[in-house]
A and B are shown apart, each in its own frame.
Chain A
Amino acid sequence: MAPRPDDDYDYLFKVVLIGDSGVGKSNLLSRFTRNEFSLESKSTIGVEFATRSIQVDGKTIKAQIWDTAGQERYRAITSAYYRGAVGALLVYDITKQTTFENVERWLKELRDHADANIVIMLVGNKSDLRHLRSVQTEDAKAFCERENLSFIETSALEATNVESAFQRILTEIYHIVSKKALAQEDGPAAAPSSGTAIKVTEAAPEAKKKGSCCQSA
């Protein structure tokens, strides 16, 4: 598939990557957007940004992904980026039980700061470290069923399931958005512009009017 020009997309979805420090958020992002992995990456400070476009049902979906710092201290800063996000990849490390235990706290963060209908996918990363696994797949699956989340295990190092993790969440978002658009078209008060594109960049000027974006928390 030839890469399309950057601006040529049908939908623009803002997605955030969240989860504890060191679970591999930045490497998931670099694997997805640049097909790169680094064992020697530095910690993320604040947020970092990358994009990639994929095809879903013949439509071009551009994902604008904000990778956030994992440490608690940064939440006041990073939670400002939840606004306008239509998807969240909540990442834990399958070899570190505490990063899985903290998933509940991250969900609360999302409930407090993100849109109510944000699509959340739980991602158990580092699946290549089989011998060090401390979080069982069944436990994570059961948790996701209770919380109504999607679930996948990935290895950014081996490039396992990274593509499908992003593909799945973007497809899910796309289906929700297009269904919504359809419903609105059927409805009596169909707005002509709805459903064409969710341009998250449009949210930026609005945020600016309110002053510094991180004061919202």
Chain B
Amino acid sequence: MIAELGQFAIIMALLAAIAQSILPLIGAERLDSRLMAFGSQASLIQLLFVFLAFGCLTQAYIVSDFTLVNVAENSHSTKPLLYKISGVWGNHEGSMLLWILILAVFGAAVAAFGRNLPVTLKARVLAVQAMIGVGFLTFLIFTSNPFTRLLVPPENGRDLNPLLQDPGLAFHPPMLYVGYVGFSVAFSFAIAALIEGKVDAAWARWVRPWTLTAWTFLTGGIALGSWWAYYELGWGGWWFWDPVENVSFMPWLMGTALLHSAIVVEKRNSLKVWTILLAILTFSLSLIGTFIVRSGLLTSVHSFAVNPERGIFILFLLAIAIGGSLALFAFRAPSLKAGGIFSPISREGGLLLNNLLLSTACATVFLGTLYPLFMEALGGGRVSIGPPFYNNTFVPVMVPLLLLVCVGPLLPWKRADLVGVLGRLKYAGLATILAILLAWYVTEGGPFLAILGLGMAAWMLLGTLSEWADKIKLFRAPLATSWQRMIKLPGSAWGMTLAHGGLAIAVAGMISTSVWKVEDVAVLKPGETISVAGTDYRFDGVRELAGPNYQAVEGTFTVSQNGEFMTILKPQKRLYNVQKMPTTEAAIHSTFVGDYYAVIGDQVEDGGWTVRIYREPMVTWIWFGCTLMVLAGFLSLADRRLRVGAPAGKRKQGKREQKSQRNAAA
């Protein structure tokens, strides 16, 4: 019964979405306020039904209703409750429904929070948002229905892939999807603006919180995914340039560019056409990301089951969405008025350079991900594109970007004096040189480029900090004044400092762990000790244990340094009962300077066990830095002045609008 209710709900949601994608558009054209207001109501109705459908599927998973194909293929009655729920989105159909749910939530949020949006813009945004919904609901109903019944239900299900039965991966897809789908709002705003023929500072301010939300969640989702790969795949890596990773990274790079270029629109009413294009491309890349994973075009460890029929369907959806919006862009964008002008050395110039480098980086990842397909199409045979390619192309593009991360925010608008700005970074520069010397000393003249890389991270961090100190006049005014200035700093300023600082910390972690990672492997019998990077790991033996739906062998290692006890590591090797699939559960002891990482392998003939030990210097810095970036996103979102529809902020906002209009007039 519950499945039929879910089936009914998705059909009702589709009908609501169809009405929502047509009526408000007509209303906006005819200035009919009733039709325009219908957009908001319809978006809430649509959300209600999608939510109901999602609830039905979740319920089916919780009670292990194996009369549903989807549940039978991806769940099992002995699975812990958390993974029964996460199993809802651990498969193609369910994840598609989650995607649509998030899309509907964003649509309803625009309706609910966009009270101060111009009515025509709001109606058009909601209509465009609903069009995306129509596309994916149709796709769900016709090719990927999660509510299909089985005529003869099996006794039990086939279980979820054991690799996915992990807390990190339970929350990774929802976060990633909030990121992907969040960019749909920026996309809808861009399309609505193209229809209206008007982009201004106010438009940029309305889009900003949505882009920021999407960016924040995407950052979190990618970080969570790489963390999962680090501890679950069991060989200490955290990024593999796998197609699935790349397709989440591309919208991130483009979205980061969008976040920066929107500032120029907001403050200076310039770069409007470019920002609109970025908004379209960012969401298009999110769509292509969804598409590649599901179509079977490229192979990847993480991809869902391949189905060419679905692939063709999504391809048409994407062709309509992306092709249509770019056609509209080609048609309407030339009539958008150019805004404020600026010199190459200026805040705007800096942000534009940031955009150029980020777009190039994104294009590099795009080429690397899709080039094998192009070559095949041209009859050039099959190639693999892996880390060596990205190290030689992506990294050189990122280096100047990272170096300039702390310079840009110091540049004044319109025209700047580069020498003066660099002068303000002299202390940061001196401290960076010290940091490089220190790194050189500590690593005994280790790899030259790696030391420069660490210096670059130090420069980013110190430069960002000195910009912050500059802002609050630290040491140049009485401390009380600095304090006052500091607590008055707007959330967005804190957000920038924290995000750039977090990036610096993450970069330091990436460089250190890539260059100075130590690994060793040995066959140990209980009581034997292996020494890796100055740390002793005594193997104390194994014991067998049974989990809720798996059998495991757990090894115990006593870790000590210079004879001093440090910690105990208990890595596991699991065999899941249903899919008979082994997984490794690494044991990790994290410290500020690095991780102690142990993996237990198979037993060999003479009774010893294969063990792998990794020493990952500063690896947690990567995720600490990413956490700071996520935090920065939320801080920036909390900025009252920029919150959409915040009543208390209205007065100020009005003032700022006037100011930007003045700028625009100039």
Q: Do A and B bind each other?
A: no
Which chain A residues have a beta carbon within 8 Å of chain B's beta carbons?
none
Which chain B residues have a beta carbon within 8 Å of chain A's beta carbons?
none
